[in-house]
Amino acid sequence: MIYIIHGNDYSKSREQVISLYNKTKSSQKIELKGSDIDQKTLSGAVFGVDIFGETPFLVLDISDLKNQAITEFLPILKKTPENITLIILHNKEIGKTNEFLKNAQLLKANVILNNKFIKSNVFRFVDFLFSKDRNSTYRELGFLQDESADSFYIFSMIIYGLRNVTNAKFQTSAFKEKSDFVRMRSIKQAALFSKENILNLYGILYDTDLKIKTGKIPPDIMLSYTIEKIINL
């Protein structure tokens, strides 16, 4: 039996590999990295048996495999004995033009896609922040942190959001080039701040950045500190 397991949720894919292995009676598990082997090595693994006549549980990681190698490997994999469990594994979602997927029917392969649903959206976080929606801001921040988003990247996006609000408040030439949707949203956010507030915010963000770099503000409270400074203006 052949399985093609792919998608960006690599942890889930590895769990499925373990689960499939536990369901087999094979005592030997062979893992091969496609980019490190040739046709001879693959053929030996696919058609090899041990001295007791036992077939292996075979995992072929194709994450770094080039198209030429795929073309060379396919004729071997098409002859895979039915009593072998072969996992073709990729750490990302592979496209429909990939030769393994195109030949899934010929390989008689079960295709399993494991993609992680991304809840976080840094732009949504910035929108809520400059709309002064505290609850939604912290909810989005939680999603970002759950997915290990870099705090310094999030901080840089706050500066990006401030720049948009500034352009709207002062009606800059850059603002006039934005789409209608972006302009309308930025105008609503800019209405929540006075011109003096906005100028003060630049000073606050600069001061925050300096305090972080000098150790006066711990990085783990940097974002909540900045959020409260903006919302309370």
Report how many domains make up the chain.
2
Same domain flag for 78 and 108: yes
92-134, pLDDT tens digit by residue?
999 888 899 999 999 999 999 998 876 778 999 999 999 999 9
Same domain flag for 143 and 226: yes
User: In the sheet that 57-61 helps form, which strands lie side by side, from edge to edge?
Assistant: 29-33, 57-61, 85-89, 2-6, 109-113
Same domain flag for 52 and 96: yes
Two tokens, residue 2: 């052949």
Of the candidates 61, 66, 67, which has an alpha carbon nearest to the alpha carbon of residue 87? 61
Same domain flag for 87 and 130: no
Last residue of a domain, one of 69, 91, 113: 113
Q: What are the distances in angstroms from CA 160 to CA 6, 125, 165?
A: 35, 12, 9
Same domain flag for 85 and 26: yes
Global confidence as pTM: 0.57
Give mean pLDDT, residues 213-217: 87
pLDDT at 92: 93
Q: Which contacts of 115-120 are long-range, i.e. CB under 8 A and separated by 24 or more positions?
A: 115/7, 115/8, 115/9, 116/7, 116/8, 116/9, 116/12, 118/147, 119/143, 119/146, 119/147, 120/144, 120/146, 120/147, 120/149
6-48, pLDDT tens digit by residue?
998 899 999 999 999 998 877 788 999 998 999 999 999 988 7
Same domain flag for 133 and 209: yes
Same domain flag for 155 and 97: no
- The Cα angle at residue 6 between residues 109 and 124, in degrees rounded to 5: 145
Same domain flag for 132 and 60: no
71-96, pLDDT tens digit by residue?
889 999 999 988 889 999 999 999 88
Same domain flag for 21 and 57: yes
157-204, pLDDT tens digit by residue?
999 999 999 999 999 988 888 888 888 999 999 999 999 999 999 999
Same domain flag for 164 and 67: no
Give mean pLDDT, residues 45-67: 83
Containing structural domain, residue 29: 2-113
Last residue of a domain, one of 84, 113, 142: 113
Same domain flag for 103 and 160: no
